[in-house]
Amino acid sequence: MSENVYIIGAGIHPFGRTEGRSGREQGVYAVREAMADAGLEWTDIECAYGGSAAAGNADIMVNELGLTSLPFTNVANGCATGGSALVSAQMAIASGFYDLAVAVGFDKHPRGAFNANPADYGLPEWYGQTGMMLTTQFFALKIQRYMQLHGISRETLGRVAEKAFRNGTKTPHAWRRSPIDLETIMNAPMINDPLTKYMFCSPSEGGVALILASEKKVRELGADAVKIAKISVKTRPPDSFEVFQAGVSVKDGGKPTVLASQAAFEGAGIGPEDIEVAQLQDTESGAEVMHMAENGFCKDGDQEQWLLEGWSDLDGKLPVNTDGGCIACGEPIGASGLRQVYENVQQLRGRAGERQVAGSSGEGPKTGYSHVYGAPGLSAVAILQR
């Protein structure tokens, strides 16, 4: 039987733009913050997993952290890089081989939208020539289709962004820390219809590190621990409709987020109604709207009422993206999924400051849910319990 695994240390380098500091150095900063949080030294760590998309190999961090000869595995899995590093570290401890592990992600992207190479995704050059490798185009078309199918208004997209910026004002690690009102968001320059510039996240910089421990080590250290109830990573099933896909199937296929969510809930032995705080992938406003339903928190179309009534606000029935999400924090690919887990750790420990969620008991949430989605159709879900 596998061991229970806990998070006992969490560290973050502020997201945004940090001139003069490389992505790897931001990752090193986060690791040191996590070790200080857990009261550990680098020599205590037994194995590490980490990665970035644009800032080099994570294992080179040992030059700054120390040459202790520990196994350090580079992880590369697109937007699920952080989630994959976390599940790798979790499995290393659950197997019984290690008692302490680090999962780390960082990145430092150039300015401008992500614009991937078609050949890297098995696509012909014409797909890139149409502009569809520019993800803003794809996501705009996907949410257009969803809005028509399920009666979602542009105002709902605007309210998602308004909430994100409002939460960002309360978050020290967020990049965008100024509120933006709904009218400004709706009337901002249109990037790809129906999404204005304030409805998108931006590629950015940052680093996050989490220290994982076995139950034995938690008891030995007397650590302030948060249990990893379940992590699930799934790729696309047949007939799904995903980013960097050249067509839509006539069949209504499955979705990787739905599969990952269902597996996570089943593994944790709970349901969506038991979650008290959630971080959902919000590459743009439409992504958060669609992912609310795909993760089982509402039915398709119900998001209209959710955003109108403030049900996903910090004081709502299910606070979503409490630190401002990707829209307020930006998206350094290697770090973004781990940022979501970091935020849930802070919430479950009662350390989230101005953005702290009360939870059903009024004394802080006991369950946290994080979800990341990325190309070419993969999703990672992590459920934490206190």
Contact 171, 328 (CB under 8 A): yes
pLDDT given at position 120: 86
Please tell me whether residue 354 adopts helix, strand or coil conformation.
helix
| CA dist., res. 327 & res. 303, Å (int) | 18
Contact 269, 384 (CB under 8 A): no
Contact 265, 271 (CB under 8 A): yes
Helix (H) or strand (E) holding 212: strand 205-214
| CA dist., res. 311 & res. 317, Å (int) | 5
Contact 322, 314 (CB under 8 A): yes
pTM of the model: 0.96
* Structure token digits, residue 113: 């939208």
| CA dist., res. 167 & res. 310, Å (int) | 13
Please state whether beta strands 72-74 and 47-51 pair in parallel, antiparallel, or not at all (unpaired).
parallel
Contact 75, 43 (CB under 8 A): no
For every residue of 299-318, DSSP letters joined together read -TTTHHHHHHHTTTSTTSSS
Which tens digit of pLDDT belongs to each residue from 291-306?
999 999 999 999 999 9
Name 134's bridge partners: 115
Structural domains in the chain? 5-110+201-385 (3.40.47.10)
Q: What is the DSSP letter of 287?
A: H
The residues of the chain scoring below 70 in pLDDT are: 1-2
Contact 136, 191 (CB under 8 A): yes
Q: List b or e across 62-97, with b for residues whose CB sees 16 or more CB atoms inside 10 angstroms.
A: beebeeeebebebbebbbbbbbbbbbbbbbbbbeee
pLDDT given at position 357: 98
Please state whether beta strands 205-214 and 100-108 pair in parallel, antiparallel, or not at all (unpaired).
antiparallel
Contact 364, 347 (CB under 8 A): yes
Give the dihedral sign, CA 266/268/273/279.
negative
H-helix segments, the chain: 23-38, 62-65, 81-94, 125-129, 135-150, 154-168, 182-187, 215-221, 256-268, 285-294, 303-309, 325-329, 333-349
Residue 54's closest CA among 11, 111, 6? 111
| CA dist., res. 384 & res. 373, Å (int) | 18
Tell me how many helices (H) and strands (E) the chain has: 13, 11
Which tens digit of pLDDT belongs to each residue from 29-45?
999 999 999 999 999 99
Burial zone of 254 (CB within 10 Å; 0-12 exposed, 13-18 middle, 19+ buried): middle
pLDDT given at position 2: 65
Name 104's bridge partners: 50, 209
